[in-house]
C-alpha cells in the first residue's frame, strides 16, 4: 500500500489532544509497541533501500503479544512510503530468515502509542518514545489514491498539523533519532 507519512514533535501533547477532542475525535487506549528495524548490509539513508521491521505489540499487560513483519520502503524522490504488513506466528524463525537474507539490525524503538482514525485511509498516531522523556510525537499516515498527487497529500498533512498548532515536522525515522 502506498502511504504519505508526516511526523511532528509536539509542542504540547495535552493541547494537541484537547484540540482533537474539541472536534469529537478521541484516541484509542494506549498500547505498547517494540520495533526492531533491519536494513540491508549496504544500507545508506536516502538510497530507497527497504527496511524490514519486526514489531511486537501488546494491548494489555495480561494480553498475548502480536507479532508482525513490516516491509517499509521510502521512495525519496516521490515522498511515498510503500508499506506491507504480514502477521507472524514464529518471531525467532522470522528474524533468522531476515538475517540470512543479508539484513542487519539497525535500531530498536519502544513506544507507547494511541491511534485515531480521522477518515477513510487516514490515521493519526500519538507516540511516547522510550528514552525520550518529556517528548511526544504525532504521526499522520494517509493512504495515497491512484491518481492523487504526493505533493498535495503531504501539503494536506502539513496543513492538518498547522491547523492543530503544530509546526515541528520531523523527517527522520524514530530509530535514527
Query: CB burial class (10 A; 0-12, 13-18, 19+) of residue 134?
Result: exposed
Confirm if 142 and 157 have CB atoms less than 8 A apart: yes
Confirm if 88 and 97 have CB atoms less than 8 A apart: no
Smallest CA-to-CA distance from 174 within 138, 124, 143, 120 is with 138
pTM: 0.86
Write the pLDDT tens digit of every residue in 16-65. Answer: 999 998 888 889 999 999 999 999 988 877 777 889 999 999 998 788 99
> Distance between CA atoms of 125 and 87, rounded to whole angstroms?
20
- Tell me what pLDDT residue 173 has: 87
Pick the CATH number of 2-176 from 3.60.20.10, 2.40.320.10, 3.40.50.720, 3.90.850.10: 2.40.320.10
- Tell me what pLDDT residue 128 has: 95
Write the pLDDT tens digit of every residue in 76-135. Answer: 666 788 889 999 999 999 999 999 999 999 999 999 999 999 888 899 999 999 999 889
Domain range annotation of the chain: 2-176
Q: Which residue has the higher pLDDT, 61 or 4?
A: 4
Q: Which residue has the higher pLDDT, 69 or 75?
A: 69
Amino acid at each position: 500500500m502506498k502511504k504519505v507519512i508526516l511526523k511532528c514533535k509536539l509542542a504540547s501533547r495535552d493541547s494537541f489532544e484537547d484540540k482533537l477532542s474539541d472536534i469529537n475525535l478521541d484516541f484509542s487506549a494506549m498500547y505498547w509497541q517494540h520495533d526492531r528495524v533491519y536494513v540491508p548490509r549496504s544500507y545508506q539513508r536516502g538510497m530507497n533501500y527497504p527496511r524490514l521491521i519486526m514489531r511486537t505489540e501488546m494491548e494489555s499487560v495480561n494480553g498475548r503479544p502480536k507479532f508482525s513483519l513490516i516491509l517499509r520502503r521510502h521512495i525519496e524522490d516521490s515522498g511515498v512510503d510503500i508499506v506491507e504488513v504480514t502477521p507472524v506466528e514464529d518471531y525467532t524463525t522470522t528474524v533468522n530468515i531476515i538475517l540470512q537474507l543479508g539484513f542487519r539490525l539497525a535500531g530498536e524503538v519502544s513506544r507507547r502509542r494511541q491511534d485515531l482514525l480521522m477518515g477513510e485511509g487516514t490515521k493519526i498516531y500519538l507516540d511516547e518514545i522510550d528514552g525520550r522523556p518529556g517528548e511526544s510525537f504525532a504521526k499522520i499516515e494517509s493512504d495515497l489514491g491512484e491518481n492523487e498527487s504526493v505533493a498535495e497529500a503531504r501539503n494536506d498533512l502539513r496543513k492538518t498539523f498547522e491547523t492543530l498548532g503544530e509546526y515541528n515536522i520531523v523527517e527522520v525515522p524514530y530509530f535514527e533519532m
